[in-house]
Amino acid sequence: MLNDPRHWLDLSQNERQILSLIRRRGPLPRAALAQATSLSPQAITNLTRKLIQNGFLDEGAVVRGKVGQPSTPLSLAPEGALFLGLKLGRRLVELALVDFTGTIRIHRQEIYPHPTPDRIITFARHGIATILASLPQADRIAGLGVATPFRLWDWGAEMADWHGFDLAARLGSDLAFPVFLENDASTACAAELIFGKLSLPRDFAHLYVAHFAGGGVVLDGRLRIGPRRNAGALGSMPIPGGRQLLDVASVSTLESRLGHSLPPDDSGWQVHPDIETPWIAESAEALAFVALSATALLDIPVVLIDGAIPTATRRALADATRTALARLPAAGIDRPQIVEGSLARSARILGAAALPLAHFFEPGGTLA
Expressed in angstroms, the distance from the first to the final Cα of the chain is 28
β-pairing verdict for 141-148 and 82-88: parallel
pLDDT of residue 71: 79
2: confidence class by pLDDT, cuts 50, 70, 90: very low
- Selecting from 3.40.50.970, 3.30.420.40, 1.10.1660.10, 3.40.50.1470, what CATH number does the domain 198-341 have? 3.30.420.40
CA separation for the pair 58, 78 (Å, rounded) = 9
The amino acid that residue 168 corresponds to is A
Query: What is residue 40's three-state secondary structure?
Result: coil
Class of domain 82-183+348-357: alpha beta
Are 292 and 330 in contact by the 8 Å Cβ rule? The answer is yes
CA separation for the pair 75, 61 (Å, rounded) = 11
pLDDT of residue 265: 83
Q: How many residues can be counted in the chain?
A: 368
Q: What angle do CA 174, 176, 182 make, to 5 degrees?
A: 75
Q: Which fold has domain 7-76?
A: Arc Repressor Mutant, subunit A (1.10.10)
Domain with CATH 1.10.10.10 in the chain: 7-76
**Average pLDDT, integer, range 302-316:** 96
* Residue 1 clears pLDDT 60, i.e. is over it: no
Identify the sign of the CA torsion 153, 367, 208, 94.
negative
Q: What are the tens digits of pLDDT across the range 113-160?
A: 889 999 999 999 999 999 999 999 899 999 999 999 988 888 888 889
CA separation for the pair 262, 250 (Å, rounded) = 12
Domain with CATH 3.30.420.40 in the chain: 82-183+348-357, 198-341
**pLDDT averaged over every residue in the chain:** 93
pLDDT of residue 65: 61
| Torsion-angle region of 30 (φ positive above 0: left; ψ -120 to 50: alpha; else: beta) | alpha
